[in-house]
Amino acid sequence: MKLLLAVALLTVALASAGPQNSEAPTGFDNKSNGLVDDMTHQADQDKFDETEGVSDGLGPLYNAQSCRECHQNPTSGGTSQMTELRVGHQGPDHHFHNPDISIAHGTEIVSGRTLVNDRAICPNGAFAGTEIQEHVPETESIRTTRVALGLLGDGFVEAVADQTFIELARKQCKGTHRKICGQVLYVPIVEAPGETGVGRFGWKDQHASLVSFSGDAYLNEMGITTRLFPDEVTKLCNTAAEPNDPPGPDGLDDIDHFARFIRASKAPARDSQLAQTSKAERGSELFNKIGCATCHVRTLTTAPAGTKANGGTFTIPEALGRKTFYPFSDFLLHNIGTGDGIAVPMQEHYGRNMYQITWKNFSLDDFQAAQDKIRTAPLWGVRFRNRLMHDGTSSTLRDAVLRHSGEAGDVNHRFQRLSQSDQEAILEFLSSL
């Protein structure tokens, strides 16, 4: 009887422990992490690399012609020096307001976005007199650039359960006696109207889903409309049929290929030579000891395969389930004194119909509260960046670290009180990531 009970207990224990976690694959070899075969991954990458022209629907307003143009260092899906321009102003109500940008000699106003596109497809041969170049109105006193982010390994980030971030935020706040309290932001899943998820992508955590982000980027960076974002920013000098990107013969849109390309990418690998130096190892210990890792969380684990994510539209596959990875971020929003005061623009990121839908757990106040906050920059792959922080204006790692104040003020003081050689050890460690 006793033996039976012991066996039963053991079985229960084993079942709840489930299969072991395994390490997420890393590397820059353009090979799949196991989500798809390498040929499919290459075909998805070709879509990501493809240059779009006016006949494909590029523009009318846009920033670049391919995803790769901004996400390429050291390989497709990586990062780059490319920035985008965002502006707005504070109203008498002390809230942030989006700009109204007049184009075509004042005959049209572009609103509902903070993004100011850098390029336009006209004037051209067919529309010689149509002037739609966007400019920053003088009224918009809040102005910033935001630098492109790396996408490699983001499939693992997407596969982390909402609850993991919620728990992390709770423990972080409790563990620091409320000095460091990352904010969780529920954001719309555009492909699942009404559903939200914990934001984890973009400098402002504006998306939780890679399909949503891909649709947003395709429209706002390249001007290509899709099933998720069917409305052009302006119809002026627009000739391509809508949506510019209809589903292909396999039922997948380009945005599905982009999302699958990112999901199948391997996480950034460390610089194996630097990572082994005793200086970097010492820096790694100090990074923990002085509290950098409170926000730049070293290790996360994805939800088990079979878990539903993105409002039920995405089932975590085997290749992404129970994977341990090292992003050096909590993916939460913090005020470290660098915020630009820009609140996430709703229509730009979630589509023109966003206000006609009731979104679960959605709170405009939470978005307002995040105005001056930035997501903890994931430090995996930071060695491929030489323009640091959200605005790209810090050009060395030391400059970036010294800019931390607010919630990170105490930690920064601890960094500055370290000996020169200890500080350098931390910087060497960062250079190995």
Residues engaged in binding ligand HEC (CB under 6 A): 63-64, 67, 69-71, 82, 84, 146-149, 151, 154, 180, 201-204, 210, 213-214, 217-218, 221-222, 258, 262, 290-292, 294-296, 334, 336, 338, 374, 376-377, 382, 385, 388-390, 397, 400-401, 404, 407-408, 411-412, 415, 426, 430
Instruction: Give the Cα separation of 175 and 255 in Å (integer).
Output: 40
- Beta carbon nearer to ligand HEC, 331 or 359: 331
Would the CA dihedral through 160, 164, 169, 175 be positive or negative? negative
356/420 with CB nearer ligand HEC: 420
Q: Which is nearer to ligand HEC, 72 or 138 (CB)?
A: 72
The total number of residues shown for the chain amounts to: 433
Of 210 and 236, the one with the shorter C-beta distance to ligand HEC is 210
Nearest approach, Cβ of residue 162 and ligand HEC (Å): 16
**Which is closer to ligand HEC, CB of 47 or CB of 322?**
47
Q: How far is the CB of 10 from ligand HEC (least distance, A)?
A: 41
- What CA–CA distance (Å, rounded) separates 73 from 343? 29
Asked whether the CA dihedral 124, 130, 134, 136 is positive or negative, the reply is positive
In one-letter notation, the amino acid at residue 242 is E
Q: How far is the CB of 91 from ligand HEC (least distance, A)?
A: 22
Contact 35, 317 (CB under 8 A): yes
Query: 204: which 2 tokens?
Result: 């402002």
- Min separation Cβ 148 and ligand HEC, Å: 4
Strand, helix or coil for residue 6: helix
Tokens 């389930």 sit at which residue? 321
Whichever of 126 and 402 has its CB closer to ligand HEC, that residue is 402
Q: Is 138 exposed, middle or buried (0-12, 13-18, 19+ CB in 10 A)?
A: exposed
CB nearer to ligand HEC: pick between 73 and 338: 338
Residue 4 vs 82, nearer CB to ligand HEC: 82
CB of 196 to ligand HEC, least distance (A): 17
The alpha-helical segments, DSSP class H, found in 363-408 are 364-369, 397-402
CB of 106 to ligand HEC, least distance (A): 26
CA distances from 256 to 33, 148, 186, 190, 228 (A): 17, 21, 22, 13, 11
Place of tokens 């190892």: 281
CB of 68 to ligand HEC, least distance (A): 8
DSSP string, 275-287: HTSHHHHHHHHHH
Measure the CA dihedral 169/170/172/177, to 10°. 140
User: Closer CB to ligand HEC, residue 84 or residue 191?
Assistant: 84
Q: What residues have CB less than 8 Å from 182, skipping those under 6 apart?
A: 168, 169, 172, 173, 295, 330, 332, 333, 334, 376
Between 195 and 221, CB nearer to ligand HEC: 221
**DSSP helix/strand/coil, 48:** helix
Task: Give the shortest CB-333-to-ligand HEC separation in angstroms.
Answer: 8
CA-angle at 317, arms to 312 and 322, nearest 5°? 105
Burial (Cβ within 10 Å: 0-12, 13-18, ≥19) of residue 79:
buried
Q: Least distance from C-beta 412 to ligand HEC, angstroms? A: 6
Tokens (6 digits) for 125: 């041969």
Which residue, 105 or 132, is less far from ligand HEC as judged by CB?
132
CB of 109 to ligand HEC, least distance (A): 23
- d(CA 48, CA 333) in angstroms, rounded, equals 28
Closest distance of CB 15 from ligand HEC, Å: 35
